[in-house]
Amino acid sequence: MSDVRVHNFSISLDGFATGAGQSADAPFGHAGERLHEWMFTTRFWHEMGGGREGGTGADHAFAAMHSAGIGAEIMGAGKFGPPGWQDDPDYKGAWGPNPPFHTPVFVLTHRPRPSIEMEGGTTYHFLDASPAEALKKAREAADGKDVRLGGGATMIRDFVAEGLVDHMHLVQVPIVLGRGVRIWDGLEAIEDVYDIEAVSTPSGVTHLTFTAKRR
């Protein structure tokens, strides 16, 4: 069976994956861009925009695993857009006409709407479904490839709690946010079900990999 993977999911030292006060102008609330500055310096990031700049060291090597072998993504309503996007019938996500997914993307929302086909192979499907049901649909769409969970923390927590996640790559950034949405709430003793490894890089971040022990 294909794997369910999380990649490049950035958290503060106190475990917040987004700050408080999310809006269209501040997708990560009071965290600003600080959770992802490590990624902006990588070749991976520049290649996503069609460039060739950026470092090819360890941060790049971890980041670049994001796309290989992925056939579909599942994301939460909070990643798809700012609070209230469901009130705008023309809203098409935070990434413009050619989003960087290039696969089917399943958006979990309690207010689903018809699917939207974007440029570059991305189609947004909107689902009001349990994690297991959403994963079944995403696996079918992924056609044998792996399914990536795009976040945010709320949906990743739900999938981990149900034992549906095979591999997670989290990036701990040396800042303390104090407020926002935390990844760890409700995941006490996660170390009992995942092998956890840590690699720190010169940029100051620590890459954490979680590999399900049942594999």
Ligand X SMILES: NC(=O)c1ccc[n+]([C@@H]2O[C@H](COP(=O)([O-])OP(=O)(O)OC[C@H]3O[C@@H](n4cnc5c(N)ncnc54)[C@H](OP(=O)(O)O)[C@@H]3O)[C@@H](O)[C@H]2O)c1
Cβ at position 177, least distance to ligand X in Å: 10
Contact of 167 with 2, CB cutoff 8 Å: no
Residue 100 CA to residue 102 CA, distance in Å, equals 6
Residue partners of 44: CB distance under 8 A and separation at least 6: 54, 60, 63, 64, 66
Tell whether residue 155 is a contact of ligand X (CB under 6 A): yes
The one among 2, 42, 109, 122 contacting ligand X by CB under 6 A: 109
Cβ at position 135, least distance to ligand X in Å: 10
Tell whether residue 142 is a contact of ligand X (CB under 6 A): no
Kindly state the greatest CA–CA separation across the chain. 45
Tell whether residue 28 is a contact of ligand X (CB under 6 A): yes
Amino acid at position 203, single letter: S
Contact of 84 with 15, CB cutoff 8 Å: no
Tokens of 157: 């927590």
Q: Kindly tell me which of 87 and 192 has the beta carbon lying closer to ligand X.
A: 87
By beta-carbon distance, which residue lies closest to ligand X? 152
Cβ at position 95, least distance to ligand X in Å: 11
List contacts with ligand X (CB under 6 A). 9-10, 17-18, 22, 27-28, 35, 76-79, 108-111, 128-131, 150-155, 158, 181
